[in-house]
């Protein structure tokens, strides 16, 4: 009889442990954005991955990217719209010579991320 009780207790402990582990993993994934903050991702200029030091031939370029969970996104100091998924797409005019593209995002908790790209036209 004692062996049956101990097996039953062990099974209950295992089931409860798996349940609580599931709750912890679920809570981590749901709060991941809060824990790690906001990030600007997948930025491209005219369809190519954005990087500093590139040279573009066109004076008008299209800047696209993603800033999931952002409530405010500014491109060169001007606020632009983003969709519910955090995607943004904007065209900007470049001056001849050296240009800086500045992207700044803020989330609802006040976290800020900023990216700068230096390009030549």
Residues 19-69 have pLDDT tens digits of 999 999 999 888 876 777 788 999 999 988 888 888 999 899 999 999 988
Task: Supply the pTM of this predicted model.
Answer: 0.72
For 39-120, CATH number out of 3.30.530.20, 3.90.1210.10, 2.60.40.10, 3.40.1180.10 equals 2.60.40.10
Spans of all domains in the chain: 2-30, 39-120
The pLDDT of residue 17 is 95
From the list 103, 37, 36, 119, the residue with the least C-alpha distance to 64 is 103
Q: 95: which 2 tokens?
A: 């001056």
Q: How far apart are CA 45 and CA 75, in angstroms?
A: 13
């Amino acid at each position: 009889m004692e062996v049956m009780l101990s097996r039953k207790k062990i099974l209950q402990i295992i089931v409860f442990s798996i349940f609580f582990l599931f709750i912890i993993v679920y809570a981590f994934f749901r709060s991941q954005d809060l824990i790690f903050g906001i990030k600007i991702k997948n930025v491209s200029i005219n369809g190519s991955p954005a990087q500093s030091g590139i040279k573009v031939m066109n004076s008008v370029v299209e800047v696209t990217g993603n800033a999931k969970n952002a409530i405010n996104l500014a491109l060169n100091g001007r606020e632009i719209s983003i969709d519910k998924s955090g995607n943004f797409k904007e065209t900007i005019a470049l001056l001849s010579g050296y240009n800086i593209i500045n992207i700044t995002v803020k989330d609802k908790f006040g976290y800020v991320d900023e990216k700068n790209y230096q390009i030549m036209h």
